[in-house]
Amino acid sequence: MRPLIFGSVTVEKVTELPSLALDPNWLIGNATAEGIAQQRSWLGNDFIASQTGKLIISVHSFVVRTPRHTILVDTCCGNGRERGPDSPFHKLHTDYLSNLSAVGLKPEDIDLVFCTHLHVDHVGWNMIERDGRFVPTFPNARYLFNREDFEHRLEFDRTGQGSFATRTAFRECVLPLADLGRITFFNCGEVIEQDLDHELKLVSLPGHCPGHTGLKIGGAKDKALITGDAIHHPIQLPQPDWYCSADLDSALSSQTRRELIDRYADTDLILLTGHFAGTTAGRIVRRNGSVRFDFLD
């Protein structure tokens, strides 16, 4: 994704995993082979693997620069982490920090880390191992988390619910930040928007997990929206009721996707999606009676 400029805000992507092929029902709980085949004509091999029919996503962060802040949105998976052999995020070895350097940033340059939610593939680089102990990867940053999401994950950790990968990531990459006093919590109701910066707002995108939150760019005029995991794959736009298998409330996540389509289809708003591979960013459009994603060049 090329750098995108929205007024005084610049957004760049920092990639950890550029292409990850997943079994369709591992990613989309109610996907069907027939439904996938119907969308192949416009998605092609970049998003549906030609031989296996697996759905292809990426794992990446966004860097958002404003006159006041350098913000890292979501911190991917992390390297060398024990996530269980069945997890696609188990013991990775990626060039994430080198890719951060490629956009001109050192970890010390980040002054705010915002996680759209606290799943394993969105918190992994919050902490890093140095000299045999884990320390904050971004030493000058405060970490911005939704309080409801944090308390939900705290309860799941206490009761042993949810995936091993996310419980372990929460213990390694989130709880230590709380012990260090590095977290700033925010509350975000279903329709309440909360200012983060002069051109940024935190907005609720419910369904994937309690407190799931996006980042709107543009101030009074909506210019772009970082969606987190409100949408995982472009195949969900023509089929918004196809839900992620990790959604806690699949009906609510489907409703959120329909509302995004109703509000932003055929407008100038740019969606900056959490897992779309390739150029990642684009617009929702209606074509030939269906909804598509029009990727930016």
Both structure tokens of 161: 């619910």
Is 204 in contact with 190 (CB distance < 8 Å)?
Answer: yes
Let me know if 69 is exposed, middle or buried by CB neighbors in 10 A (0-12, 13-18, 19+). middle
Is 107 in contact with 137 (CB distance < 8 Å)?
Answer: yes
Rounded Cα–Cα distance for residues 66 and 57 (Å) = 28
CATH number of the domain that 135 lies in? 3.60.15.10
Type of residue numbered 191:
V
Percent of the chain's residues with pLDDT above 90: 89
Q: What is the pLDDT of residues 130-144, one digit of tens each?
A: 888 889 999 999 999
DSSP symbol at 260: H
Rounded Cα–Cα distance for residues 158 and 152 (Å) = 10
Q: Quick one: average pLDDT of 169-187?
A: 95
Q: Is the pLDDT of residue 83 over 80?
A: yes
Alpha helix ranges (H) inside the chain: 24-27, 33-43, 96-102, 147-159, 164-173, 175-179, 250-264
Is 220 in contact with 180 (CB distance < 8 Å)?
Answer: no
Domain membership of residue 204 as a residue range: 4-295
Type of residue numbered 25:
N
Prediction pTM value: 0.95
How many C-beta atoms lie closer than 10 Å to residue 255's C-beta? Answer: 15
Mean pLDDT of the chain: 94
Task: Report helix, strand or coil for 171.
Answer: helix
pLDDT of residue 176: 96
Q: How many structural domains does the chain have?
A: 1
Is 282 in contact with 270 (CB distance < 8 Å)?
Answer: yes
Report phi then psi at 199, rounded to 5. -120, 15
Q: What is the pLDDT of residues 256-285, one digit of tens each?
A: 999 999 999 999 999 999 999 999 999 999
Q: Quick one: average pLDDT of 175-198?
A: 80
Residue 225 neighbours by CB under 8 Å, 6+ apart:
203, 214, 215, 216, 217, 260, 264, 269, 270, 271, 272
Q: What is the pLDDT of residues 7-59, one digit of tens each?
A: 999 999 999 999 999 999 999 999 999 999 999 999 999 999 998 999 999 99
Both structure tokens of 96: 């994430």
Both structure tokens of 79: 């390297």
Rounded Cα–Cα distance for residues 34 and 26 (Å) = 16
Task: Report helix, strand or coil for 240.
Answer: coil
pLDDT of residue 92: 96
Q: Is the pLDDT of residue 190 over 60?
A: no
